[in-house]
Structure 1
Amino acid sequence: MCTATIDDVVHGSGWYYIGCGVCHTKATKGPTTLMCKKCGKSEIDGVAQYLSKLSVYDQKDQAVFVVLGDAGEELTGKKAAELVERYYQANEDVGEDHIVPVPQAMIDIIGQTRKFIAKVSNHNLNGKSQTLTVTKVLPLKAPEPVVETGENVDGESDSGRRSADGVEFKGVKRAKCG
């Protein structure tokens, strides 16, 4: 597990693949249908799955993470299939082999700091690409708000009013992540 900031979505490669609807293995093109080697089926329903490369950094190092499947959805809040379908609906004139550009949902994650669970093996470290495969993305826990109580310089209690417009509140509310 590591905490890193997303620097960029690596360009020059696709951000998704078409996988088997059952096991998510990359589908292969048969003569007239999509096939799955893992399931052994010669006719499958293909589903878009995330396969994105992200450049990330922390205080010490920079790395490239490969984000697959559900981890991409955890980052963007959107299913890859939804983003691909939306693109093709808006661009009906493009062919099937057209490269779908990186969606705005992926661009919007640049600059976010997240906790990543990555799978590390000898292949990751000795291969020519040296990327780490992300299996899960966790939100960073938001810091608890600091609420001070006590006396102000003018003698009024600090606990009832917190803003310049005089709005009173009973407790702090914050947005839920996830």
Structure 2
Amino acid sequence: MLYGSFPSVAWFECTATIDDVVCGSAWYYIGCRVCHAKATKGPTTLMCIKCGKSDIVGVPQYLTKLSVYDNNDQAVFVLLGDAGEELTGKTTSELVESYYEANESVGDEHFFHVPQALLNAIGETRKFLVKVSSHNFTGKVQSLTVTKVLPLEAPVPDASLGKNVDQETSHDKEDPADELVKMSSDEIVSRDAKRAKCG
């Protein structure tokens, strides 16, 4: 796995099989249409702290946790933004809209249920572009951010969960999704802890 020393931010291309969709938290969030940061509720509108705007258009964005494995190890991937659409073939908006239509009578907690389009990916072997930074390995939870799901036809890298594709120095700009992953990673159970499977 990727526990050795590496630059502040690095990208790795890897091939892994999806073992499960981690349940227990929302699989999407409402973000700013412009910067994709998580929107916050104002008195009457949605606000974006990052953009500094008090009246924004909120759009659903993927924030889905996948348990994956390869021949050597297991990990938790956090699927963000376009990567979710690349995996399922559906936008977050499509899945949210169809799910709400099918579950109108269910209470407010229904957003925790994972849509079938994500559950259908369980058992698939896919190629992922994974972003790793130092915060991924500072606590008990070790989760990796997926920024892209590559086509199955893409060449297989030499090392499954460890081929370095690109690097970024510490002074380079942080991705706006990093903060969401940091916040959501507290909810992920360590791969060594017991958790219930869903799907």
Asked if these proteins are the same fold (TM beyond 0.5), I'd say yes
Counterpart check, 1:75 vs 2:87: yes
SS at match of 1:93: coil
Tell whether the 8 Å contact from 1:14 to 1:99 is kept in structure 2 after alignment. Answer: no
Identity among equivalent pairs (%):
75
SS at match of 2:77: strand
Q: TM-score, normalised by structure 2?
A: 0.68
User: Match for 2:115 among 103, 118, 121?
Assistant: 103
Q: Max radius of gyration: which structure?
A: 1
Residue 128 of structure 2 is matched in structure 1 by 116
* Count of residues in correspondence between the two structures: 142
What per-residue deviation string (whole Å, max 9, x for no partner) do you get for residues 94-152 of structure 1? 45x43321000000000111111111111011133210001111022189xxxxxxxxx
Task: After superposing the two structures, state which structure 1 stretch, 38-47 or 133-142, moved more.
Answer: 133-142
Residue 26 of structure 2 is matched in structure 1 by 14
- Report 1:10-159 matches (<5 A): 10-94=22-106, 97-100=108-111, 101-141=113-153
Q: 1:77 Cα shift?
A: 0.4
Unpaired stretches in structure 1, ≥5 consecutive residues: 144-178
Unpaired stretches in structure 2, ≥5 consecutive residues: 1-12, 156-199
What per-residue deviation string (whole Å, max 9, x for no partner) do you get for residues 5-43 of structure 1? 000001111100000111111000111111001111101
* Structure 1 counterpart of 2:109, one-letter code: H
* Structure 1 counterpart of 2:26, one-letter code: G
* Structure 1 counterpart of 2:136, one-letter code: N
In 1, the alpha carbon distance for the partners of 2:110 and 2:32 equals: 20
What per-residue deviation string (whole Å, max 9, x for no partner) do you get for residues 50-86 of structure 1? 0000000000000000000100000000001111111
Q: TM-score, normalised by structure 1?
A: 0.75
Higher relative contact order (CA 8 A, sep 6+): 2
User: CA 1:24/1:142 → structure 2, altered by over 3 Å: closer, same or farther?
Assistant: closer
